[in-house]
Amino acid sequence: MKILNNSTSSLLTVFTLLFLFISTANAAVPIPAAPKVAAKNYILVDANSGRVLAEKEADVQVEPASITKLMTSYVIYNELDAGRLSMDDMVTISEKAWRMGGSRMYVEVDKQVSVHDLMKGLIIQSGNDATVALAEHIAGTERAFVDLMNQYAAKLGMTNTYFANSTGWPAEGHLTSARDISKLALAVIQEFPEHYAWYKEKVFTYNNIKQYNRNKLLWSDDSVDGIKTGHTESAGYCLVASAVRSDMRLISVVLNTESEKTRASVSQSLLNYGFRFFETHKLYAAGEVLNRSRVWKGESEKVSLGLLKDLYITIPRGSYGQLEAVMDVDANIVAPLDKGSQHGAVRVNLAEEEMLQTPLVALESVGEGSMFQIAKDHILQLFN
């Protein structure tokens, strides 16, 4: 296996990670361009590695329509997780919620409805009335709830997003981008998997009114398990879709198409492209010991090094054998060390091109050694 040297520091020792296979081929597997699709804005992302597989004007600010409700749901999930809200809580329906136009759950004014039922109405039926009722119940007013939405958007790094309401009803300045929506969708899927399961439900009946999920991919592709549609005259037809095939999850965000059929076909084309030409592998687990390194002047002579989070990589399908990984480990690691402190890096190359780099960190703390240990190591370092 080829050892890659780090030219930036003479204090770095390079070790190969032996479990990866190396091919004698020098060129990466060719990948065709993403399909040309009838959407003004889109992005296709691998959920585990975060690699963008295709995009078009993904950072342009556009109206999100009911895709907005993904953030409404995300705020509610955080309230449930914090214990400030329960699925069994009863919500009194205000006149404002009852009067909401567009897609509706058909709740009745002054009636009490459980959070559980309202969430079903929000997710499956995209009910504007259910959405406003939940927002008012949590924050007192929809305006106050929208403040929470924008705070969470900032926390998720949604730099092109501003919400003016909880539903996606057209409003001045109510904008986001395809890339920002992909960040939000990923957060919903990864942070709240038990709630995400509702996004694949096809039908919900409330008040003897049966309504169907507007995500048509749920009927045509068994690998699709969510996530949200949206439509207004000004935003066009939008769809955030996610699918899993062979443990590989992709997220597609398609905005501003001309019809329900188009948003579904565009999303399907992007997902098929991603699954056909790419594959994702988990290389190392968070906390896995990748190296035991010498520590100078410490209460322990060794420290375990590894990664803070699972390391995934998305590569052209069929090119796994061309992967090469190396560790650049600091040669002079001196105590005291804090758990999580960086002492090198893991780099992964494909056909001699660097694909990713991630910090190599201490998996435990190492305190300063005794005076004798410090003095002894000082002398040994001089000789080294």
Domain assignment of residue 183, yes or no: yes
**pLDDT at 82 (0 to 100):** 97
CB 97 within 8 A of CB 136: yes
> Same structural domain for residues 273 and 304?
no
Catalytic residue among 73, 126, 242, 252: 126
> Same structural domain for residues 327 and 271?
no
Which among 355, 357, 339, 338 has a CA at the least distance from the CA of 347? 357
> Same structural domain for residues 191 and 72?
yes
> Which residue's entry shows tokens 């009490």?
112
The letter for the amino acid at 21 is F
Assign 340 a pLDDT band (cuts: 50, 70, 90). Answer: very high
Catalytic residue among 49, 66, 177, 267: 66
Domain assignment of residue 24, yes or no: no
> Same structural domain for residues 108 and 256?
yes
Active site residue 126: yes
**pLDDT at 373 (0 to 100):** 74
> Same structural domain for residues 330 and 191?
no
| Rounded Cα distance, 25 and 2, in Å | 13
Among 245, 278, 311, the domain boundary falls at: 278
Q: How confident is the model over 234-288, as pLDDT tens digits?
A: 999 999 999 999 999 999 999 999 999 999 999 999 999 999 999 999 999 999 9
Active site residue 376: no
> Same structural domain for residues 269 and 343?
no
CB 97 within 8 A of CB 129: yes
Q: Is the dihedral angle over the CA atoms 128, 134, 140, 143 positive or is it negative?
A: negative
> Same structural domain for residues 185 and 317?
no
| Rounded Cα distance, 317 and 276, in Å | 8
Of the candidate ranges 103-107, 236-240, 293-297, 316-320, the one whose mean pLDDT is the lowest: 293-297
Domain span at residue 84 reads: 41-278
> Does residue 40 carry a pLDDT above 50?
yes
Domain assignment of residue 285, yes or no: no
Q: For position 241, which CATH number holds?
A: 3.40.710.10
Q: How far is CA 57 from CA 126, 178, 245, 294, in A?
A: 26, 8, 27, 48
CB 169 within 8 A of CB 131: no
> Same structural domain for residues 272 and 298?
no
Among 233, 256, 278, the domain boundary falls at: 278
| Rounded Cα distance, 99 and 133, in Å | 11
> Same structural domain for residues 109 and 223?
yes
Q: What percent of the chain has pLDDT over 90?
A: 84
Number of domains observed in the structure of the chain: 2
- Arithmetic mean of pLDDT, 211-233: 96
**pLDDT at 23 (0 to 100):** 35
- Arithmetic mean of pLDDT, 162-172: 97
Active site residue 297: no
> Which residue's entry shows tokens 């003897």?
208
> Same structural domain for residues 295 and 274?
no
> Same structural domain for residues 203 and 59?
yes
Among 278, 313, 341, the domain boundary falls at: 278
The letter for the amino acid at 250 is L
> Does residue 28 carry a pLDDT above 50?
yes
Which among 103, 160, 159, 168 has a CA at the least distance from the CA of 130? 103
Catalytic residue among 69, 200, 228, 297: 69
Domain assignment of residue 240, yes or no: yes
